[in-house]
Amino acid sequence: MLSFARRHGAGYLFIVPFFALFLVFQLFPILWTFYISTQEWSGLGEPESVGLKNFRLLLTDPQFWDATANTLIYWVCGLVFILPLAMGISLLLNKRDLHGLRTFKTLTFLPYVCATVAIGLIFNIMFDTQQGLVNEVLGLVGLDQVGWLTTTTWSKVPVIVLNVWRHTPWFALILLGGLLNIPRDYYEAAKVDGAGAARTFWHITLPSLRPVLMFCMIMITVESWNIFAEPFIMRGPGTSNVSLFQYMYESSFRLFKYGYGAAIGVALTLILALVSIIQLFLMRKDADA
Amino acid sequence: MNISRRTLLGSSLLLGASAGLSACGGSKPSPDSPSTPDGGVFPPGKMIMYGYGQPQWLLEYYNPWLERHQDIAKGVTIDMVQNEGEAQARQKLIQAMSAQDYASAADVIQTSRVSLLDMAKNDILVDFTDYLSGIEDKLVPGALSDSAYDGKLYGLPDSVRPQLLFYNQDILDTYGIDAESLSTMDGYLEAGRKLKTDSKGAVQLSQIDPTTLAWRYWGRRGLLPQAGAQIWGDDGSVVFGDSEGTRKALGYLGTLQSEGHLFVTKMFQAPLYDAIKAGKIATFYIGAFFDEFLRGNVADMAGKWRAQPAPVFEDVGTAGAPVIGLFCAVKKPEGQYSALWQQLWNDFQFDAEARQTWTTKMVEENAPYANPIALDLLKDPFWKEPSDFYGGQSFRETEALGLQNSSANLRVTKDDAEADALISPELEKFIAGDQSIDDAIKNAHEALKSRISTTDPK
């Protein structure tokens, strides 16, 4: 034991700070959340044990299922729109001969550094049914007004647009980092062999970017399931665009049903764990291929 | 890791820590009732207030009051902590009390009846029963109706403001509508039809928020109390969908919406004020608090707007229900300012001269203010003075008038925040055109029954 400590003590000492913080600020709260999910508690007084009642309520709660379905849509739309757009932008930014590259880089990254709340308010104004800029433009091309934030059919669209608009630059930057790491020799060799732009992209760029793309997919997944500010600021009718995280927040901090909120948190954790495991499995399978 | 999860987990952690710490004894609990220190002089320090809305304007009264009372409050300052809303104020207090962080916990919290019930039940509020029961007859009727829990009085009402009808006089003149005809719900609906027809849809009778505020302003605080609706029966059972009043109130709203008399846009946002300025909305059926939003956001329309008591259902006959603003003192260990707060509140309500001085200042700064709730003060001609914004009409007098013949508010229980969260989405789906108003009532009723079933009717 003493010799083990002598041999490995320094290493363990180095990781102690992380694990101390992890235990106090992450592991204990997670365990506490699991405990609270079996209680009824308004934040004051003693929690009252209710067993699995909160989870039973979840299963029959249409608002919970609405929020889950909405979040699923945000996730799919995130993957479908953010990744291709980010890829397109990163390919543009990777062109060394692009005129005004620095200005373009700055402008591209601007949405990500803007405060979500402020932008959300502006989007609220833009997507207003009666007075909004978006409907004004639609009117100019002869289309009818759309109830972006006043109908359950359309209320997810502004949230998706804002989410894509905000996050695309970040992922473009990550992909640009990946592109810059691809040796130029590959492209020169491809050029010598007579490969066109499409074939070069398909056979060199994409395979080289695979690990970065996988990382982006995982990040988009985590961020999509944790989406909060966008639907919170641009709330639509009923639960038509409420996210799961938002529903957890509102159950806990608006209704003061901490037990129920914690149960939603547990459900969200399980969903995220499941999605992450599937993604990791696919990544591993892909790496083995 | 984002804020809400961190907050939840952090508060959980702090609660755990507090449970351990509380076992060790520690601070001396403050008395149940406000107590003045020996000699009547309060120790220097910070009286922390958690407020929401625009509470900073109250400091324009409180700070001069402290200046005038150096003999009892030398060195006392007020720290007004602005919160996004009632829930955030309560959340902050829960966290501070759980963590035993009494230095940053509120001495006084602005709150709502639902939160008052929970906080009083958990014994963290100062009991003002002796003081309030002695002055009840000096206050406007119903002023203490939200203050009670289990036979004791905890909430000091800051304001009692009625439901009113704000209307654009120019629009009514243009379309030949007499404001007097808007005093009944039938007349109000007829005015909407006339506006729609004569303006070819360019002007709508009123506005409705597509989200949660529709239920708050049109439902809970508006039509439901006026129609004598109920959410809970006397035994705490759900009677929402079975109540004749609910069907009358929401049926009326259903007619307004389905006939196209309501301009659908979010409350308190730029597009709403643009629509008001463009003359697209003729009236607002809403609480008197809306005065500050009109004056603040469409100041250039001074002279065009008027107000009168809310229209009544003729077969019910009572006007709008009042909305009561509440402040409670927190019973925190070593708390030393609840008696000072009581004195300050007392003067705010009963010191005519100081209240008038403050109100005049608010008018000059185009800031929010409400009528006092002391009957004697309201007799003063000052509270009948004309307002330029309302074209010479006295808004203060109108507000006082709106409190006469008022409807009783809906019964509020500890489960009403959740009830709102169940009813509101159904109403919102109706506004969005996804279901009929009858379905909205039925679905809300079923949701209440399956999720809450019965409540404590106290």
Least CB–CB distance from B118: residue in A44, A62, A124: A44
Question: DSSP states of A112-131 as a string?
Answer: HHS-HHHHHHHHHHHT-TTT
Q: Is the pLDDT of residue A237 over 50?
A: yes
DSSP-derived letter for residue B31 is P
Q: What does the pLDDT read at residue B217?
A: 96
Q: How confident is the model at residue B31 (pLDDT cuts 50, 70, 90)?
A: low
Percent with pLDDT over 70 in chain B:
93
Q: What does the pLDDT read at residue B1?
A: 39
Least CB–CB distance from B274: residue in A43, A129, A131: A131
Tell me if B274 and A255 make a contact (CB, 8 A cut-off).
no
Percent with pLDDT over 90 in chain B:
87
Range 142-201 of B in CB contact (< 8 A) with A: none
Q: Is the pLDDT of residue B23 over 50?
A: no
Place of tokens 């409350």: B267
Instruction: Please state the rounded mean pLDDT for residues A15-26.
Output: 92
The helix/strand/coil state of B78 is strand
Question: By C-alpha distance, which of B9, B25, B348 is closest to B156?
Answer: B348
Range 205-224 of B in CB contact (< 8 A) with A: 210-212
* Model confidence pLDDT, tens digit, residues A183-206: 989 989 998 988 888 899 999 999
* Model confidence pLDDT, tens digit, residues B311-337: 999 999 999 899 999 999 999 988 899
Q: How confident is the model at residue B27 (pLDDT cuts 50, 70, 90)?
A: low
Measured between CA atoms, the residue of chain A closest to residue B215 is A238
Q: Is the pLDDT of residue B16 over 70?
A: no
Q: How confident is the model at residue B37 (pLDDT cuts 50, 70, 90)?
A: confident
- Contact list, B270 vs chain A (CB under 8 Å): 125, 131
Q: What is the pLDDT of chain A when averaged over all its residues?
A: 91
Tell me if A250 and B421 make a contact (CB, 8 A cut-off).
yes
The helix/strand/coil state of B165 is strand
Contact B116, B125 (CB under 8 A): yes
Q: Is the pLDDT of residue A120 over 50?
A: yes
Helix (H), strand (E) at residue B148: strand B148-149
- Contact list, A60 vs chain B (CB under 8 Å): 450
Q: Is the pTM of this model over 0.85?
A: yes
Q: Is the pLDDT of residue A82 over 70?
A: yes
Q: Is B118 on the interface with A (CB under 8 A)?
A: yes
Instruction: Please state the rounded mean pLDDT for residues B191-218.
Output: 97
* Model confidence pLDDT, tens digit, residues B242-255: 999 999 999 999 99
What fold does the segment set A62-288 form as a domain? MetI-like fold (1.10.3720)
Q: What does the pLDDT read at residue B29?
A: 60
Q: What is the pLDDT of chain B when averaged over all its residues?
A: 91
Tell me if A57 and B265 make a contact (CB, 8 A cut-off).
no
Instruction: Please state the rounded mean pLDDT for residues A20-47.
Output: 93
Contact B234, B217 (CB under 8 A): no
Q: What does the pLDDT read at residue A288?
A: 67
Instruction: Give the least confident one: A151-160, B22-31, B409-418.
Output: B22-31
Q: What does the pLDDT read at residue A289?
A: 61
Q: What does the pLDDT read at residue B15?
A: 38
* Model confidence pLDDT, tens digit, residues B336-394: 999 999 999 999 999 999 999 999 999 999 999 999 999 999 999 999 999 999 999 99
